[in-house]
Structure 1
Amino acid sequence: MKTRITLVRPLYTEKMAGQQEALNKYAFQVDRDANKIEIKKAIETKFEVKVKSVRTMNLSGKMRQQMTRQGRFSGRRPNWKKAIITLEPDYKLELFDNA
């Protein structure tokens, strides 16, 4: 297995907060080259939980424009990958709990 950081950062949105409570799902930004098996192993070893399923999606970066003295500068944010993790019913991530 390649040695690299698979999990980049957790994603916490209003939609994911609802799914976290109701469906036991969590979202993470992951390395673009990581596959579902590597993501599952990384979650299970880092948080000591049992993962039921992993769903991934590749997202394209947003277009950005900036006005400068020389004119308009167009750029693009980098493409990234999102993984939605479903945990087994007995497990919970304490990552987002404030209590």
Structure 2
Amino acid sequence: MSIIIKPIITEKITKDGELFNRFGFIVDKKANKVEIKKAVEAAYGVSVLAVNTMIYRADRTVKYTKGGVISGKTNAYKKAVVQLKEGETIDFYTNI
């Protein structure tokens, strides 16, 4: 089971990484904070101080267009924000 699905690279999370040493990931819905901490430490070789998790529900949308009514939804996911030890960082922009 892969716990970390993908990193979140948004303007807000990038700013958090620079200022407060926090990085965001989309993780498996069934993973708990201990498993997320171990997965991040193993994948990136850093020390994690804290893990905050949030579960986002699926949003349903209805659009009224010329062609008729279009309904859809966004996927539900779990987001984890991990805080690293002072002086450590994760670089998502280099291909290693």
| TM-score, length-scaled by structure 2 | 0.85
Aligned to 1:53: 50
Aligned to 1:9: 6
Aligned partners of 1:49 and 1:43: how far apart in 2? 7
Greater Cα offset, 73-82 or 20-29: 73-82
CA distance change for structure 1 residues 31 and 68 in 2, over 3 Å: closer, same or farther? farther
Aligned partners of 2:13 and 2:41: how far apart in 1? 20
What stretches of structure 1 move > 4 A for 4+ residues in a row? 66-69
Aligned partners of 2:14 and 2:94: how far apart in 1? 10
Aligned to 2:19: 22
- Structure 2 spans left out of the alignment, 5+ residues: none
| TM-score, length-scaled by structure 1 | 0.83
- Structure 1 spans left out of the alignment, 5+ residues: none
Aligned to 2:81: 84
CA deviation after TM superposition for structure 1 residue 47, in Å: 0.4
C-alpha RMSD of matched pairs (Å): 2.0
Corresponding position: 1:35 with 2:32: yes
